[in-house]
Structure 1
Amino acid sequence: MNRLMIVLPVALLLSACGSDKEQAEPVRPVLSTLVEPQVQAQLGRFAGSIQARFESTLGFRVSGRIARRWLDVGAQVKPGDTLATLDPTDQQNQLRAAEGDLAKVQAQWINAQADARRQQQLYDRGVGAQAQLDIAQTNLKTTGAALEQARSAVSQARDQLDYSTLRTDHAAVVTAWQAEAGQTVSAGQAVVTLARPDVKEAVIDLPTYLAEQLSKDLTFTVALQLEPSISTTATLRELEPQADATTRTRRARLTLVSTPDTFHLGTAVSVTLSSAVSPRSELPRSALLERDGKTQVWVVDPQQKTVATRDVQLLERDPQRIVLASGVQPGERVVTAGVNILKPGQKVTFDEDAR
């Protein structure tokens, strides 16, 4: 009886020790993420706008006072549409003066023709002098030249009158006016800017250091700022050779591979730059474990629900992220929090289990 009483406390003590040993290795909940391969390096995101590839600034070919501006900004025009008109008084007066000079010269030319015929007839009958005939024929040629000059003057005056109306020769959209009705403008002065809406491109301003590193394999992703799901890719068409003196940026013009219907002129877009790189993986900075001169991460075994360390090779690091060249494979799960309190082979539960 006494022996039984001694054995029972010893068995209970051993059972308690075994229970404490099992509780010494708790199952720890961890935060984790799946490794995804990265073959494009993000170089930055910049704000830009959709603009027409072809723009033209028009002006009157004659001087004058603008009598009327027929259209507003945003109006669509067709070839031959009137944009603005000058006060045509000066051009009309010049045309009337030229037409008067033409009538005068025409009368002189008729008289010169009659005189030349008369002198020719007299000379043919032997009663006219050669000198008189020569004078009449010279006068006819001179008057004929004056007649051509007068006709050219009338044609030029009519052109000047026609130039007092500013028209477009192609389909376009009015994007800006540089002059208003009542303003006096000189010949060639900028009056209105037109953009052709059929060919659009994205325009952004890049920092000088980045503009100098642009390569041929660079990819541009252009997306609407208000609707990022609507996007397209683009290629670099033109890069300004000099930086802006104020912003120290260089303007880049991008040719769109496709143009969604919502890409209207002036629409704000977000342009992301990326470049092809060797396969790599990006993880949160909190996933990195540095111990004994090694750079490691904890990899989760989804079957056993345990963790193990894995040596990795770092390419980049910053306060928010790390970029790995090797050590983990796509699809593997890596612990992203609490890396300093884990042990190899420790049981864990991760966020996927919680969901």
Structure 2
Amino acid sequence: MMRLTGLLAASLLLLACSKNDPPPDPVRPVLSMEVKAEDQETLGRFAGTIQARYESNLGFRVPGRIAHRTVDVGAEVEKGAVLAVLDPTDQQNQLRAVQGDLARVQAQFINAQASARRQQALFNRGVGAQAQLDAAQTDLKTTQASLDQAQASVNQAKDQLNYTRLRTDHGGIVTAWNAEAGQVVSAGQQVVTLARPDIKEAVIDLPAGLAERLPPDVVFLVAGQLDPSVNTTATVREIEPQAQSATRTRRARLTLADTPAAFLLGTAISVTLSSAIPPRIELPLSALQQIDGKTRIWLLDTQSRTVQPREVTVLSRDADSVVLSGGVKPGERIIVAGVNSLQPGQTVKIDEDSPR
């Protein structure tokens, strides 16, 4: 009986002691990240396209009405290919007219030659006058000049007829048409744009302020919008000296370090500008905790899964991130979500989605 009473007293004593002990801190789920030092500053990301460095705006050398086009936009053509044809009626009529003039002058030239030969023969026999011989030779020279002029007119008319067919002087890809079949165009009017696909470049529009203060070591990373894994670097070839009045942007043309096969003319690209900076540490704004006017972060011990606070100094901040001037080193892991519910030495559970 006494033994039973002693066991009961001991049990009651242990129960009383357990009620006085504080409950253990709960294991809280958190998100963490590894601290990394950044040595590149992103200046912006801009959309652009792949274009040909060399483009030709072609037009007819004679006026007329476009009879038909032989190719469409996107067609690849070789040197000498016919792109469009004018109605050749006027040029054909002009050619017939000058050919008639040429035939008339040729007949006159034949008569002048015969006359000059006759007068020369009479003069050689001593029965012809010098004045008649001189007149015949002068007429022959005049007729020869008229013949040359008529022949030149025929050649010119043939050229005018040939100019009714718009041909390429180099191979390329048709990128734009500025006239349609049935439209009357003047000589030299821009009709079609032909791009040479052998040399391509990236074209983007930069804000005027950024274009004026680009650092000399700026790096352009050019990537396809549909497939960012297709990328290359580029350098500035030229920037337009004046900003466009409507958008206040300046067009920049970039020379590609290499040209991936996927970079076809017209491909939509994304160009990221970055510049080298002294190494700095940038963290998400959610990693900071303000306590008694001091700023701190929570360090994670990956072995014990416990956390400890550490004060840091903020160099700058924006809506989503902060840049620290000290207090944490690259390679350390910090808590980036759930910092307001932590206690020093508390055990945490790292979320499966947390970066390792």
TM-score, normalised via structure 1 length: 0.88
Q: Distance in 2 between matches of 1:271 and 1:106?
A: 69
1:186 correspondence with 2:182: no
1:58 deviation in Å? 1.0
Aligned to 1:176: 176
Q: After TM superposition, list the pairs within 5 Å mapping 1:1-355 onto structure 2.
A: 12=14, 15-16=17-18, 19-20=21-22, 23=23, 27-291=27-291, 294-351=294-351
Q: Distance in 2 between matches of 1:325 and 1:188?
A: 64
Q: Is the 8 A contact 1:205 1:251 kept in 2?
A: yes
Q: Distance in 2 between matches of 1:292 and 1:19?
A: 29
Question: Aligned with 1:112: secondary structure?
Answer: helix
Q: Distance in 1 between matches of 2:71 and 2:152?
A: 34
Q: Distance in 1 between matches of 2:91 and 2:57?
A: 23
1:112 deviation in Å? 2.1
Q: Is the 8 A contact 1:86 1:164 kept in 2?
A: yes
Distance of aligned partners of 1:18 and 1:99 in 2 relative to their CA distance in 1, 3 Å threshold: same
1:341 deviation in Å? 4.5
Q: Distance in 2 between matches of 1:331 and 1:202?
A: 37
Q: Distance in 2 between matches of 1:134 and 1:301?
A: 119
1:286 deviation in Å? 1.3
CA RMSD in angstroms comes to 2.8
String of CA shifts for 1:225-275, please: whole Å, max 9, x gaps. 222222222222221111112122111122222222222222222222212
1:353 deviation in Å? 10
Distance of aligned partners of 1:127 and 1:312 in 2 relative to their CA distance in 1, 3 Å threshold: farther
Distance of aligned partners of 1:70 and 1:9 in 2 relative to their CA distance in 1, 3 Å threshold: closer
Q: For structure 1, which segment, 25-34 or 182-191, has the greater mean C-alpha deviation from structure 2 after superposition?
A: 25-34
Q: Identity over the aligned pairs, expressed in percent?
A: 64
Q: Distance in 2 between matches of 1:259 and 1:289?
A: 48
Could you tell me which runs of 5 or more consecutive residues in structure 2 were left unpaired when the two chains were aligned.
Answer: none
Amino acid at match of 1:54: Y
Question: Aligned with 1:233: secondary structure?
Answer: strand
Q: Distance in 2 between matches of 1:295 and 1:229?
A: 39
Could you tell me which runs of 5 or more consecutive residues in structure 1 were left unpaired when the two chains were aligned.
Answer: none
Q: Distance in 1 between matches of 2:33 and 2:68?
A: 66
Distance of aligned partners of 1:131 and 1:313 in 2 relative to their CA distance in 1, 3 Å threshold: farther
Question: Aligned with 2:265: secondary structure?
Answer: coil
Q: Distance in 1 between matches of 2:130 and 2:69?
A: 64
Q: For structure 1, which segment, 193-202 or 118-127, has the greater mean C-alpha deviation from structure 2 after superposition?
A: 118-127
Q: Distance in 2 between matches of 1:315 and 1:72?
A: 58
Distance of aligned partners of 1:160 and 1:213 in 2 relative to their CA distance in 1, 3 Å threshold: same
Count of aligned residue pairs for this structure pair: 350
1:143 deviation in Å? 1.8
Question: Aligned with 1:137: secondary structure?
Answer: helix
